[in-house]
Structure 1
Amino acid sequence: MKGRRIGAWYRLVVILLKPVLLLSTRRNWKGAENLPATGGVITVSNHISYADPFTYAHFVYDSGRLPRFMAKESLFRLPLLGRIVRGARQIPVYRETRDAGAAYSAAVAAVRAGELVAIFPEGTLTRDPDGWPMRGKSGAVRVALETGAPLIPVAQWGAQDLLPPYSKRLSLFPPHRIWVTAGPPVDLSRFAGRPMTLPLLTEATEQVMAELTALVEEMRGESAPAERYDPRNRGKPRYGNPNPRTPKTPKARNFPGLQKRKRSGR
């Protein structure tokens, strides 16, 4: 933690947001020892709310690392937020354009420079009606295989109570319970040194999503559906709110597994 070069813009974000998160959340952090203290690393996380990048970043910051997010390019064009994310050296993702490869190249360079790159492999908020991780994209696996850096699954739950999916109604009080757990590195050794064909990337990505989902299952005390939600088969737009009337992701406090842990003090 000591001596890390945080930069002025990153420091501004910490000064502004960390006190808010400390007051509005009750944090259950686990697995921080699985995040390497130094060196390049890729993390993947489930995406349940527009608030979860902040709760995730809080966990990583408390673990002694600074995340560089791969984030949609439209955020970089917003008047104030855009200046902040650019100043904090986040990585813009140009979805389905000729510039899409720039994000991959930037992520590889960042990992090789010893940084922690954070990726939401679903590419958007989960469309699963119960908030489970859905089908993932292969970007994180490609970066991991290209660099040889560890890929760490980081599961989270509870941020949807701060800000429900696609909602603009932020709820800060009473404080909400937030769970974040980092698992051990995904073993991708059987894919290393092989051509990154579509079947290989699909298989490796499914392994990553399976391990991430297992962490969410443990966190929620429930089993995920046997078939992973795939938005390609649902006739919905690939990005944005798929249906304004879609049921909201269930609140964290509604899950008996989490309530049991809360009462027992774990």
Structure 2
Amino acid sequence: MLEIDRYVVSMVGNLEVTGTVPAELLGRPLVMAANHIGTFDALVLMKACWEIGIAPRFMLAGGLLDAPVLGWALTRSGHLRVERGKATVIESFATAVESVKSSDTPLLVYPEGRISRDPGLWPERGKTGVARIALAANAPVIPISQWGAHEAIHWGNESVNGLPDLKPYVTSFLSALRRRPRFKVHFGSPVDLSDLSAGKAGDAVRAHKRIMQAVTDNLATLRRDEPDLPKYHDPTRPTDTRSPWR
């Protein structure tokens, strides 16, 4: 899966990776939290992680894991499923905590749970799931900020029911092959959660705020020349929320 991913990302655009994961955090429980900007960004993150020498498991929405070919490959690679807004999310949380505790492979999670609908593509409010997983597993959190992957493939449609629904994906991907966008990924410093615990009321919210603010602050550095709206406009992406972290 990684070999295919590296080839596809290199074919579509140019990847720039900054930051890393401290050596002392490798081989122990570790959670990584990234902003979600497009349908292509998981592939970009996989390649970025490979470049710094790690291969995390992703906690991904069921829809992506059910996708033809890609979903099969992601599932075979050991990535975890979460169904946003469903009762099984409790089971997914327990599985994620146990996975972090018992594995030397980092778990990468999108705190927002979906591609941002903020007009400027800044991080949404998100959920406290990542924070609760990290606190329950007593694991440090590495914030990951990324920019540029939104230019590879459009947001598209809520569901694909026929060939016409595939048009925004195909046309945007072919356009990206010609333009070769620049994908930027930054691995930030560990978020300090040392004064927080899983059993204390309100600590999950406090941890979530610190994680999201770290992701947003590092994202601001990546997109200094696009402080408000993205220069690349995706007409299919909903823009009905506002980021509270900017």
Same fold, judged at TM 0.5 (above):
yes
The reply on whether 1:16 has 2:4 as its aligned counterpart is yes
Is contact 2:154-2:237 (8 Å) kept?
no
The reply on whether 1:185 has 2:190 as its aligned counterpart is yes
Once the two structures are overlaid, the 10-residue window that deviates more, 31-40 or 63-72, is 31-40
Partner of 1:191: helix, strand, or coil? coil
Q: Which residue identity lines up with residue 102 of structure 1 in the other structure?
A: E
Residues 53 and 76 of structure 1: is their aligned pair in 2 closer, same or farther, counting only changes over 3 Å? closer
Q: Which residue identity lines up with residue 183 of structure 2 in the other structure?
A: I
Give, in whole Å, the separation in 2 of the partners of 1:16 and 1:70. Answer: 20
Residues 180 and 246 of structure 1: is their aligned pair in 2 closer, same or farther, counting only changes over 3 Å? same
Name which of 224, 230, 242 aligns with 1:221.
224
Q: Which residue identity lines up with residue 213 of structure 1 in the other structure?
A: T
User: How many residue pairs get matched?
Assistant: 217
Equivalent residue number for residue 76 of structure 1: 65
Equivalent residue number for residue 65 of structure 1: 54
Q: Which residue identity lines up with residue 18 of structure 2 in the other structure?
A: K
Q: Gaps spanning 5+ residues in structure 1: where?
A: 1-12, 226-242, 248-266
The reply on whether 1:164 has 2:154 as its aligned counterpart is yes
Q: For residue 77 of structure 1, report the CA deviation from its aligned partner.
A: 3.1
Q: For residue 108 of structure 1, report the CA deviation from its aligned partner.
A: 1.3
Q: For residue 174 of structure 1, report the CA deviation from its aligned partner.
A: 3.1
Name which of 127, 131, 150 aligns with 2:140.
150
Residues 164 and 196 of structure 1: is their aligned pair in 2 closer, same or farther, counting only changes over 3 Å? farther
Q: For residue 79 of structure 1, report the CA deviation from its aligned partner.
A: 4.2
The reply on whether 1:117 has 2:107 as its aligned counterpart is yes
Q: Which residue identity lines up with residue 35 of structure 2 in the other structure?
A: N
- Percent of counterpart pairs with the same letter? 26
Give, in whole Å, the separation in 2 of the partners of 1:23 and 1:82. Answer: 20
Q: Which residue identity lines up with residue 14 of structure 2 in the other structure?
A: R
Q: For residue 222 of structure 1, report the CA deviation from its aligned partner.
A: 6.4
Partner of 2:177: helix, strand, or coil? coil
Q: For residue 69 of structure 1, report the CA deviation from its aligned partner.
A: 0.8
The reply on whether 1:44 has 2:44 as its aligned counterpart is no
Q: For residue 67 of structure 1, report the CA deviation from its aligned partner.
A: 1.6
User: What are the within-5 Å matches in structure 2 for residues 126-137 of structure 1?
Assistant: 126-137=116-127
Equivalent residue number for residue 201 of structure 1: 204
The one-character-per-residue Cα deviations of 1:35-80 (angstroms, maximum 9, x if unpaired) are 7332221111111111111101111111111121111113333443
Q: Which residue identity lines up with residue 177 of structure 1 in the other structure?
A: R
Q: Which residue identity lines up with residue 208 of structure 1 in the other structure?
A: I
Give, in whole Å, the separation in 1 of the partners of 2:39 and 2:136. Answer: 29
Q: For residue 109 of structure 1, report the CA deviation from its aligned partner.
A: 1.9
Give, in whole Å, the separation in 1 of the partners of 2:65 and 2:185. Answer: 26
Is contact 1:142-1:196 (8 Å) kept?
no
The one-character-per-residue Cα deviations of 1:205-233 (angstroms, maximum 9, x if unpaired) are 111111110001111126978xxxxxxxx
Is contact 1:158-1:177 (8 Å) kept?
yes
Q: For residue 244 of structure 1, report the CA deviation from its aligned partner.
A: 4.7
Is contact 2:5-2:46 (8 Å) kept?
no
Is contact 1:110-1:116 (8 Å) kept?
no
Equivalent residue number for residue 176 of structure 1: 181
The reply on whether 1:104 has 2:104 as its aligned counterpart is no
Is contact 1:37-1:64 (8 Å) kept?
no
Q: Which residue identity lines up with residue 203 of structure 2 in the other structure?
A: L
Q: For residue 33 of structure 1, report the CA deviation from its aligned partner.
A: 4.1
Q: Gaps spanning 5+ residues in structure 2: where?
A: 157-167, 229-234, 240-246
Is contact 1:42-1:150 (8 Å) kept?
yes
Residues 245 and 34 of structure 1: is their aligned pair in 2 closer, same or farther, counting only changes over 3 Å? closer
